[in-house]
Amino acid sequence: MNWVALILAVLSAGGIAYGVGQTRLAKSPVSIMKVFSQGRERLRLMLMRLEKEDEPDFCFGAMCYEPMALPERADYLCPVCGTRTVYTYSEAEFILSTLPSMRRIAAELDESGHFRVSLEELLCSECFGEDASNSVNLVVVYAEGDTVRTRAGYHDMMLLRGFVAGDLFYITDNDGQYPLKEHSQRIRELLGLE
Ligand SMILES: [Zn+2]
């Protein structure tokens, strides 16, 4: 949904609330303010809230008892130049499982409307030569025009997913739920909110 549509939706929700009663009407100006303050400022406010609130309880995720066999190799296909780079064992695991999860979260974050988000993958032997490794830069571009580029891992992406959703916790792969508060400095760094 684009911002204009969202603003219209909020305004019309306010209109409906007007007919329904005083309590809901009182809430609608706050929602409208939320819609108008977006981008970096909005994120800064969200981070202040995160640092002020009490931590929610954590909850361990399900333990996985089924040992997963490590893949022996994985072919990384460069999205930029199309070259194939072969990785083995733990790096293959990164290509086959971690990277797709990171890309999925990056796409979700990109849809959030706060900023544009993409991953710069440093995995191609053609593009990065000797420096190619299983690492990824998170690239955040704000509407104001500035770009924040940080080396990021899967855990960082999970932190941002929770934070951008406005939660005080983040959810891990195995459905564990952990407080975001202790990671506020890392979130600040990843989003360039220093
Ligand atoms: Zn390449």
pLDDT digits (tens, 9 = 90+) for 94-111: 999 999 999 999 999 999
The Å distance, Cα 79 to ligand 1 centre, comes to: 7
| 118-141: pLDDT as tens digits | 999 999 999 999 888 889 999 999
CA of 113 to the centre of ligand 1 (A): 29
Q: How far is the centre of ligand 1, averaged over its atoms, from the C-alpha of 125 (Å)?
A: 7
Distance (Å, whole) CA 154 – CA 159? 9
DSSP for 35-71? HHS-HHHHHHHHHHHHHHSPPPPPBPPPP--SPPPPP
CA distance 95 to 37: 38
Output the pTM of the full model: 0.76
Residue bearing tokens 């293959």: 92
Residue 173 CA, ligand 1 centroid: distance in Å: 29
- Tokens describing residue 113: 């409307």
Q: Output the CA 90–ligand 1 centroid distance in Å.
A: 21
Whether the pLDDT of residue 68 is over 90: the answer is no
Q: How far apart are alpha carbons 150 and 142 in whole angstroms?
A: 14
Q: 160 CA to middle of ligand 1, Å?
A: 27
Summarize pLDDT for 19-57 with one digit per residue, the tens: 333 334 444 444 444 444 568 889 999 999 999 999 998
Q: Measure 86 CA to ligand 1 centroid, in angstroms.
A: 12
| H/E stretch holding 147 | strand 147-152
